[in-house]
Amino acid sequence: YRFSFTVVPKAVPTQSYKSGVRGMVLLGPTCPVERMPPDPACAEKPYATVVTVYRTGSKSPFIIGNSNTAGAFEFSLPPGSYTLSAKGGNTLPRCNKTDVAIVPDEYTSVTISCDTGIR
C-alpha cells in the first residue's frame, strides 16, 4: 500500500455569522458514455476533499475546511464576495473555482463541480 498525506493548516473564524455558504462537491462524469435517458448509476458522485474559501481578490484563505463523505460543506461567513476552491488531485480530478455572493442573514447554496476526466 502507498499512502500520501497533505498537511493543511485550518483557519478558524473568530466569530459565528448569521450568513454563509453551504453546498456540495461533486465528481463527474462517472461513466465514459452518457446515455439518454440518463443512467442513475452514472450520476455525479459526492467528493470528500479540502474546500478553501477566499475573499474575492485575495490570495490568503479566509477559511479552510472539508466536504464530508456525502460531499457536503457549510461555512459561516460575513456578507461579501468569495471564491471557493475544492482540492483535486495532482492531475485529476480538476475542480472548478466557484464565486459566491453572501448576503446578510442568509446561507447561499452552491455546487462545486470536479471533472474526473472520463470521456
Residue-wise pLDDT for 56-75, tens only, equals 999 999 999 999 999 999 99
Buried b (16+ CB within 10 A) or exposed e, 65-80: bbbeeebebebbbeee
Across the range 28-41, mean pLDDT stands at 83
How confident is the model at residue 27, as a pLDDT?
95
How confident is the model at residue 76, as a pLDDT?
95
Widest CA span in the chain: 49
Q: Strand 94-95 relative to strand 80-86: parallel, antiparallel, unpaired?
A: unpaired
Q: How far is CA 23 from CA 35, 58, 71, 113, in A?
A: 27, 21, 8, 11
Cell numbers that stand for 16 in this block: 459565528
The structure's pTM equals 0.81
Cell numbers that stand for 19 in this block: 450568513
